[in-house]
Chains A and B, each alone.
Chain A
Amino acid sequence: AQSVTQPDIHITVSEGASLELRCNYSYGATPYLFWYVQSPGQGLQLLLKYFSGDTLVQGIKGFEAEFKRSQSSFNLRKPSVHWSDAAEYFCAVGNAGGTSYGKLTFGQGTILTVHP
Protein backbone atom coordinates (compact mmCIF):
# COMPACT_ATOMS: atom_id res chain seq x y z
CA ALA A 1 0.00 0.00 0.00
CA GLN A 2 1.21 3.48 -0.76
CA SER A 3 1.91 5.96 2.01
CA VAL A 4 3.29 9.45 2.51
CA THR A 5 5.15 10.74 5.54
CA GLN A 6 5.68 14.38 6.35
CA PRO A 7 7.98 14.26 9.39
CA ASP A 8 7.46 17.87 10.44
CA ILE A 9 4.04 18.72 11.84
CA HIS A 10 4.83 22.39 12.36
CA ILE A 11 7.64 24.59 11.03
CA THR A 12 8.31 28.21 11.91
CA VAL A 13 10.54 30.42 9.78
CA SER A 14 11.26 34.12 9.56
CA GLU A 15 10.12 36.09 6.56
CA GLY A 16 12.86 36.10 3.95
CA ALA A 17 14.43 32.87 5.21
CA SER A 18 14.68 29.76 3.09
CA LEU A 19 12.27 26.87 3.52
CA GLU A 20 12.40 23.12 3.04
CA LEU A 21 9.45 20.86 3.80
CA ARG A 22 10.16 17.16 3.86
CA CYS A 23 8.17 14.40 2.24
CA ASN A 24 8.91 10.69 2.06
CA TYR A 25 6.73 8.26 0.17
CA SER A 26 6.29 4.53 -0.07
CA TYR A 27 5.12 3.24 -3.42
CA GLY A 28 5.75 0.08 -5.37
CA ALA A 29 6.25 1.64 -8.77
CA THR A 30 6.95 5.02 -10.30
CA PRO A 31 4.76 7.46 -8.39
CA TYR A 32 3.02 10.59 -9.36
CA LEU A 33 3.94 13.15 -6.67
CA PHE A 34 2.23 16.39 -5.74
CA TRP A 35 2.46 19.26 -3.30
CA TYR A 36 -0.69 21.10 -2.33
CA VAL A 37 -1.24 24.12 -0.09
CA GLN A 38 -4.31 24.83 2.02
CA SER A 39 -5.24 28.10 3.71
CA PRO A 40 -7.57 27.93 6.73
CA GLY A 41 -11.11 26.94 5.78
CA GLN A 42 -10.23 26.59 2.14
CA GLY A 43 -9.67 23.82 -0.36
CA LEU A 44 -6.33 22.64 -1.64
CA GLN A 45 -4.35 24.41 -4.33
CA LEU A 46 -1.79 22.54 -6.42
CA LEU A 47 1.74 23.95 -6.09
CA LEU A 48 3.57 21.52 -8.33
CA LYS A 49 3.66 17.94 -9.57
CA TYR A 50 6.17 15.35 -10.69
CA PHE A 51 5.34 12.67 -13.22
CA SER A 52 8.60 11.92 -14.98
CA GLY A 53 11.64 13.56 -16.54
CA ASP A 54 13.58 16.31 -14.82
CA THR A 55 13.70 15.55 -11.12
CA LEU A 56 13.69 19.23 -10.15
CA VAL A 57 10.24 20.66 -10.77
CA GLN A 58 9.17 24.25 -10.59
CA GLY A 59 5.78 25.31 -9.31
CA ILE A 60 3.74 28.36 -8.60
CA LYS A 61 4.55 31.06 -6.04
CA GLY A 62 8.30 30.44 -6.36
CA PHE A 63 8.23 26.89 -4.99
CA GLU A 64 10.27 23.99 -6.32
CA ALA A 65 10.62 20.33 -5.37
CA GLU A 66 13.21 17.67 -6.05
CA PHE A 67 12.39 14.01 -6.63
CA LYS A 68 15.03 11.66 -5.24
CA ARG A 69 14.19 8.07 -6.06
CA SER A 70 17.05 6.64 -3.99
CA GLN A 71 15.74 8.39 -0.87
CA SER A 72 12.02 8.06 -1.72
CA SER A 73 11.74 11.76 -1.09
CA PHE A 74 10.06 14.73 -2.69
CA ASN A 75 11.02 17.77 -0.61
CA LEU A 76 9.51 21.18 -1.22
CA ARG A 77 11.73 24.26 -1.17
CA LYS A 78 11.49 28.01 -1.44
CA PRO A 79 14.52 30.32 -1.29
CA SER A 80 12.78 33.23 0.42
CA VAL A 81 9.53 32.87 2.35
CA HIS A 82 6.84 35.55 2.33
CA TRP A 83 4.31 36.12 5.12
CA SER A 84 1.56 35.06 2.70
CA ASP A 85 3.10 31.58 2.49
CA ALA A 86 1.79 30.77 5.97
CA ALA A 87 -0.56 27.83 5.43
CA GLU A 88 -0.66 24.04 5.65
CA TYR A 89 1.24 22.05 3.05
CA PHE A 90 0.41 18.54 1.91
CA CYS A 91 2.49 16.08 -0.02
CA ALA A 92 0.56 13.44 -1.98
CA VAL A 93 1.23 10.39 -4.11
CA GLY A 94 -0.95 9.04 -6.91
CA ASN A 95 -1.09 5.90 -8.97
CA ALA A 96 1.02 6.19 -12.08
CA GLY A 97 -0.89 3.42 -13.81
CA GLY A 98 -4.52 2.65 -14.43
CA THR A 99 -7.30 5.17 -14.57
CA SER A 100 -7.67 6.18 -10.95
CA TYR A 101 -6.85 9.81 -11.54
CA GLY A 102 -8.69 11.15 -8.55
CA LYS A 103 -7.29 8.92 -5.82
CA LEU A 104 -4.37 10.46 -3.99
CA THR A 105 -2.77 9.43 -0.72
CA PHE A 106 -1.89 12.48 1.34
CA GLY A 107 0.62 13.04 4.08
CA GLN A 108 -0.53 14.44 7.41
CA GLY A 109 0.49 17.94 6.45
CA THR A 110 3.01 20.50 7.68
CA ILE A 111 1.78 23.76 9.14
CA LEU A 112 4.01 26.66 8.19
CA THR A 113 4.16 29.74 10.42
CA VAL A 114 6.03 32.79 9.15
CA HIS A 115 7.39 35.35 11.60
CA PRO A 116 7.83 38.95 10.46
Chain B
Amino acid sequence: KAGVTQTPRYLIKTRGQQVTLSCSPISGHRSVSWYQQTPGQGLQFLFEYFSETQRNKGNFPGRFSGRQFSNSRSEMNVSTLELGDSALYLCASSSPGQGDRKLFFGSGTQLSVL
Protein backbone atom coordinates (compact mmCIF):
# COMPACT_ATOMS: atom_id res chain seq x y z
CA LYS B 1 0.00 0.00 0.00
CA ALA B 2 1.30 3.44 -0.87
CA GLY B 3 1.77 5.83 2.02
CA VAL B 4 0.48 9.34 2.48
CA THR B 5 1.62 11.51 -0.40
CA GLN B 6 2.08 15.25 -0.10
CA THR B 7 2.82 17.58 -2.96
CA PRO B 8 4.77 19.64 -3.60
CA ARG B 9 7.70 18.70 -1.37
CA TYR B 10 9.12 22.23 -1.31
CA LEU B 11 7.54 25.59 -2.03
CA ILE B 12 8.84 29.14 -2.02
CA LYS B 13 6.39 32.01 -1.99
CA THR B 14 6.47 35.71 -1.22
CA ARG B 15 4.41 37.61 1.30
CA GLY B 16 0.85 38.33 0.22
CA GLN B 17 0.62 35.37 -2.15
CA GLN B 18 -1.57 32.37 -1.59
CA VAL B 19 -0.62 28.70 -1.69
CA THR B 20 -2.37 25.36 -2.05
CA LEU B 21 -0.93 22.14 -0.66
CA SER B 22 -2.16 18.70 -1.57
CA CYS B 23 -2.44 15.45 0.37
CA SER B 24 -3.40 11.99 -0.88
CA PRO B 25 -4.20 9.63 2.00
CA ILE B 26 -3.54 5.94 2.19
CA SER B 27 -6.03 4.04 0.09
CA GLY B 28 -9.17 3.37 2.12
CA HIS B 29 -8.46 6.05 4.71
CA ARG B 30 -11.27 8.59 4.96
CA SER B 31 -9.87 10.91 7.63
CA VAL B 32 -7.22 13.52 6.83
CA SER B 33 -5.63 15.87 9.34
CA TRP B 34 -3.24 18.74 8.79
CA TYR B 35 -0.50 19.98 11.10
CA GLN B 36 1.92 22.91 11.01
CA GLN B 37 5.41 22.31 12.37
CA THR B 38 7.76 25.18 13.23
CA PRO B 39 10.88 25.32 15.41
CA GLY B 40 9.23 27.80 17.77
CA GLN B 41 5.69 26.46 18.10
CA GLY B 42 6.27 22.79 17.41
CA LEU B 43 3.50 20.67 15.96
CA GLN B 44 0.14 22.35 15.91
CA PHE B 45 -3.16 20.91 14.71
CA LEU B 46 -4.76 22.81 11.85
CA PHE B 47 -7.90 20.86 10.92
CA GLU B 48 -9.36 17.44 10.30
CA TYR B 49 -11.64 16.25 7.53
CA PHE B 50 -13.74 13.13 7.35
CA SER B 51 -15.96 12.26 4.40
CA GLU B 52 -15.61 15.75 2.95
CA THR B 53 -16.68 17.44 6.21
CA GLN B 54 -14.48 19.43 8.52
CA ARG B 55 -14.73 17.67 11.83
CA ASN B 56 -12.36 19.73 13.91
CA LYS B 57 -10.36 22.94 13.62
CA GLY B 58 -7.34 24.24 15.46
CA ASN B 59 -6.62 27.76 16.58
CA PHE B 60 -5.47 29.31 13.34
CA PRO B 61 -6.71 32.43 11.52
CA GLY B 62 -9.25 32.22 8.73
CA ARG B 63 -6.44 32.57 6.16
CA PHE B 64 -5.92 28.85 6.66
CA SER B 65 -8.58 26.73 5.05
CA GLY B 66 -8.97 23.25 3.72
CA ARG B 67 -11.25 20.86 1.94
CA GLN B 68 -11.60 17.19 1.20
CA PHE B 69 -12.78 15.62 -2.00
CA SER B 70 -14.97 12.57 -2.53
CA ASN B 71 -11.88 10.41 -3.11
CA SER B 72 -10.57 11.52 0.33
CA ARG B 73 -7.77 13.60 -1.14
CA SER B 74 -7.39 16.87 0.71
CA GLU B 75 -6.03 20.31 0.04
CA MET B 76 -5.17 23.13 2.35
CA ASN B 77 -4.94 26.74 1.31
CA VAL B 78 -3.20 29.65 2.94
CA SER B 79 -4.11 33.08 1.65
CA THR B 80 -2.22 36.34 2.10
CA LEU B 81 0.96 34.61 3.20
CA GLU B 82 2.98 36.02 6.08
CA LEU B 83 6.60 35.38 6.97
CA GLY B 84 5.44 33.44 10.01
CA ASP B 85 3.65 30.90 7.81
CA SER B 86 7.02 29.42 6.87
CA ALA B 87 6.80 25.90 8.20
CA LEU B 88 6.66 22.21 7.44
CA TYR B 89 3.03 21.30 6.76
CA LEU B 90 2.25 17.70 7.55
CA CYS B 91 -0.75 15.72 6.49
CA ALA B 92 -1.88 12.54 8.24
CA SER B 93 -4.50 10.00 7.33
CA SER B 94 -6.30 7.47 9.44
CA SER B 95 -9.04 4.92 9.20
CA PRO B 96 -11.41 5.60 12.07
CA GLY B 97 -13.48 2.59 11.24
CA GLN B 98 -10.68 0.38 12.48
CA GLY B 99 -10.81 2.08 15.85
CA ASP B 100 -7.10 2.08 16.51
CA ARG B 101 -6.60 5.82 15.93
CA LYS B 102 -3.25 5.43 14.26
CA LEU B 103 -2.20 8.46 12.25
CA PHE B 104 0.01 7.88 9.23
CA PHE B 105 1.99 10.97 8.27
CA GLY B 106 3.30 12.10 4.95
CA SER B 107 6.78 13.60 4.52
CA GLY B 108 5.34 17.10 4.46
CA THR B 109 5.53 20.22 2.35
CA GLN B 110 8.25 22.66 3.35
CA LEU B 111 6.88 26.15 2.75
CA SER B 112 9.21 29.13 2.77
CA VAL B 113 7.71 32.62 2.67
CA LEU B 114 10.10 35.37 1.61
Contact = CB atoms under 8 A, between A and B. Distances in A.
Do these two chains interact?
yes
Interface residues of B, number: 27
Contacts of B94: 101-102
A46 B105 CA distance: 9
Given A49-B101, A101-B96, A101-B101, A108 B42 contact: yes
Nearest to A36: B105
A43 interface: yes
A90 B43 CA distance: 9
Contacts, number: 68
Interface in A11-33: 32
Given A41-B110, A102-B56, 13 more contacts: A43-B4, A43-B105, A43-B106, A44-B90, A49-B100, A99-B96, A100-B55, A102-B32, A102-B33, A102-B103, A104-B45, A106-B42, A107-B42
Interface of A: 32, 36, 41-46, 49, 51, 90, 94, 99-109
